Chains A and B, each alone.
Chain A
Amino acid sequence: MATARCQPGDWIDVERVLLEVDERAANLPEDTAKKPLRIWVKGFAEEAADIGDEVTVVTTTGRRVTGRLSEVNPGYNHTFGRPIPELAHVGVDLRARIEAYRAGGE
């Protein structure tokens, strides 16, 4: 269960702005140039903090990175999702084609 506060030693995700809009590279497309470049890094919290507070983490390589607390014990929520109706027929259709081709004695 997600919590809004971390304790020292908790595995957390911190966010910070790496480059403000006026520090970004030249020749970016307009939509990208209008946004700051943000980064997220995970590590073990050095102190207690609430979501949005500045906090320092120690990453798995031992680096210390300071940013705003983004999430405590961050998880992974990517999935497969539902079957795609436009692909539902593919297996049955192609197996039938192969069967018909082989029955034709080729």
Chain B
Amino acid sequence: MVSRTEAILARKGEIMLRALGMDYEQFERSPIAFDYEAMMAAHGYTLDDIVGIQAAGGVGGTPLLELKNLTDLVRSISEPGHGARIFVKDEAANMAGSFKDRRASMSIHVAREKGYAGVIAATSGNYGAAVASQAARAGLKCIICQETFDSRHVGQPEIVEKSRICEAFGAEVVQMTVGPELFSHMLELLDETGYFAASLYSSFGVSGIETLGLEIAEEMLARTGAHPTAVVITHAGGGNTTGTARGLKRAGATDTEIISASVDLTGLHMASDTDFNRKSFTTGHTGFGVPFATWPDRADVPRNAARSLRYMDRYLTVTQGEVFYVTEAMAKLEGLERGPAGNTAMTAAIALAREMPCDATVVVQETEYTGAGKHHWAQLNFAKEQGVEVRAGEPRENKPGTVIVIPERPEQIHATDFDLDRLRRSYIRNALSHAPEGYEPTSEDIEFLAADTNSDSTSVETAIAELREA
């Protein structure tokens, strides 16, 4: 007998075609390659159009702040002549408190233009708040599906806060226990309601983030006379890295180094009921960052617009304790009480800035709102209640789910480079495994894989040969 989940998944293509209002088949070139740029351009909005749509929605144009106290702190622990100027884009100033408003504003605009009565998104994060807020302004109905509770009905406090804010904006929130079937239930709801799928990974949403890169390039040029040396981006599903990097490039900041950063959650399983409330981070972590970089098309759209490996120059990881320390420091030194997501990139930026000359500039491209449940004190208190040890000491002793080690000194903040070549090989292995058995990649496929991994044809061919030998 076909189960309820199998039955709805079998109709995925048909349901998503109606719910997205875009046929992805037109972009497919082979079992491996598709025309990414054609997909990104298919909605027909120029960057100027998007800026205008967002301005009308109360989104974008957030303050770019220079963090002079933090910069001096970094210089106090750097070699002479080192310690880059650190800036932050205060994205918490958007309507619903994060950069996700940029994504949501485009999805909701498209939904309204195409005449949908409502929107649905599967998200436990800030994106839900953003979709609910923009839907309220557009007069559209809104359903947000969230993974909120473990099997004991204990809610992760940050996600409970996200339930609250979505309901504050009038959305219906479907709260669920842990499991990937969240996606099949979202399909059932799309089928039942006929609403628009406000996917995090559609070209509409990811195009909406390009304005963030554009603003950073233009504002840094005006403020410092040059584009930023590096932009540090908290990385999870890949949209933040992809959209920001595309915007920077479109604004001419082609030499700016694109650095993604995640909290290291090695050892915790993302679909585990017991690990769920021991993560202390709900996003910006390697549990999303690595699988989405190495196989973006695991997303809820036929082809994911968020393809982070195309744009990353480096991928850094930091520990939970380091991010909580930096979150506290940001409030005390810069008067910026913000959530941990943007501060993940901030933690990596501190480590990076120490190694860069004084005249270099580093931009952390987002902050997020904080508050009850989301606040780092709330997360640490919750961790203790779940039996996770919290102590001061050497951050390298941090072990996700077991012990959170808060640094005692800023000198202990350290970022670890993730091997990008390993991620690239893993992506290529996944791409080949999704093609039919025995399929021989063409030269067009090799070119596509090179572009999709920000490498070259020779490297891709070598990786394929190594995979075949293994």
Contact = CB atoms under 8 A, between A and B. Distances in A.
Binding between chains A and B: yes
A91 B333 contact: yes
A106 B77 CA distance: 12
A60 B168 CA distance: 11
Interface residues on A, range: 35 or more
A62 B390 contact: no
Contact of B193 (A32, A63, A97): A63
B104 interface: no
Interface in B87-131: 118
A73 to B, nearest CB: 13
Interface string A75-87: 0101111111011
A31 B177 CA distance: 12
B392 A86 contact: yes
B357 interface: no
A90 B412 CA distance: 13
Contacts of A39: 174-177, 185
Nearest to A17: B177
Nearest to B175: A40
Nearest to A28: B271
A80 B72 contact: no
A106 B75 contact: yes
Contact of A97 (B163, B172, B410): B410
Contacts of A19: 4-5, 179, 181
B376 to A, nearest CB: 8
A81 B179 contact: no
Given A40-B175, A78-B160, A86 B390 contact: yes
A78 B332 CA distance: 23
B251 interface: no
Interface string A25-62: 10011011001111111110000000000000001111
A61 B172 contact: yes
A40 to B, nearest CB: 4
Interface in B350-409: 372-373, 375-378, 380-382, 390-392, 406
Contacts of A101: 72-73, 75-76
A13 B375 CA distance: 26
Contact of A91 (B180, B328, B375): B328
Given A29-B271, A60-B170, A84-B390, A37 B373 contact: no
Contacts of B324: 84, 87
A80 B76 contact: no
